[in-house]
Amino acid sequence: MGYLGGFAVTFRKLFEKRVTTSYPKEKRHKPQRLHGRHVLNRYEDGMEKCIGCELCAAVCPANCIYVRGADNSPDDPVSPGERFGYIYEINYLRCIHCDLCVEACPTEAITESKLFEFSFASRTDAIYTKDELLVGDDGKPKQLPWEDWRPGDDEHTSAWMRATSPSGSSEHEGRVAWSSELGYGVRAAEEGQSEQSL
């Protein structure tokens, strides 16, 4: 094919339907379990679920989570346990969104939203603190100025429990239960899962 043949191909393509989307105005559909920005959950009475056990930091393969627990004050407790997450930081320059922290959390304190597009003006903005990760009074994740939240990105962030019980009992296989969360309520079963709860 000579030069004229190449130009003919290009000219023909000008009139065909476009296969690309006009990003960022239009975005592709996000799967229901997409791993995005983390969220620190609270109970319906407003107490934090994080007990500062540091299991999420221990299991993280990218070493992007830093947690330090502290003892709860008997007069003004932050969480219902003896301890709470005094410092909680996630470095999104390192996070690979593997969801192992969500799996490891014994109190379902950390979950992930569907927001996965980040733009930082400085490296320090990429380190999210506890104040930025903790849900607001309505149970919804805080939306920071540099984040591009779209409708539905904050849905279904309530805690996900394993399809099998922690002991591995086969009677729970094929079932997923959703916990009641502040601002979200009970999440419906996914396709192929039963409505029964654990």
Q: Taking the domains of the chain in order of start, what are their residue ranges? A: 28-187
Ramachandran assignment for 168, one of left (phi > 0), alpha (psi -120 to 50 degrees), beta (any other):
left
pLDDT at residue 163, rounded to an integer: 40
Q: Nearest to residue 130, comparing CAs of 40, 36, 37, 35?
A: 40
Each residue of 2-39: pLDDT tens digit? 788 888 888 888 888 877 778 777 777 777 667 888 99
pTM value is 0.72
- Report residue 68: phi and psi, to 5°: -135, 125
| Domain spanning 28-187, CATH architecture | 2-Layer Sandwich (3.30)
pLDDT at residue 187, rounded to an integer: 52
How far apart, in whole angstroms, are the C-alpha atoms of residue 114 and residue 156?
9
Could you tell me the pLDDT band of residue 180, with boundaries at 50, 70 and 90?
low
Each residue of 116-167: pLDDT tens digit? 887 888 888 899 999 999 988 887 888 888 888 888 787 766 544 444 344 4
Each residue of 74-116: pLDDT tens digit? 888 888 888 999 999 999 999 998 888 988 888 888 888 888 8
CA distances from 92 to 8, 48, 64, 179 (A): 46, 22, 7, 26
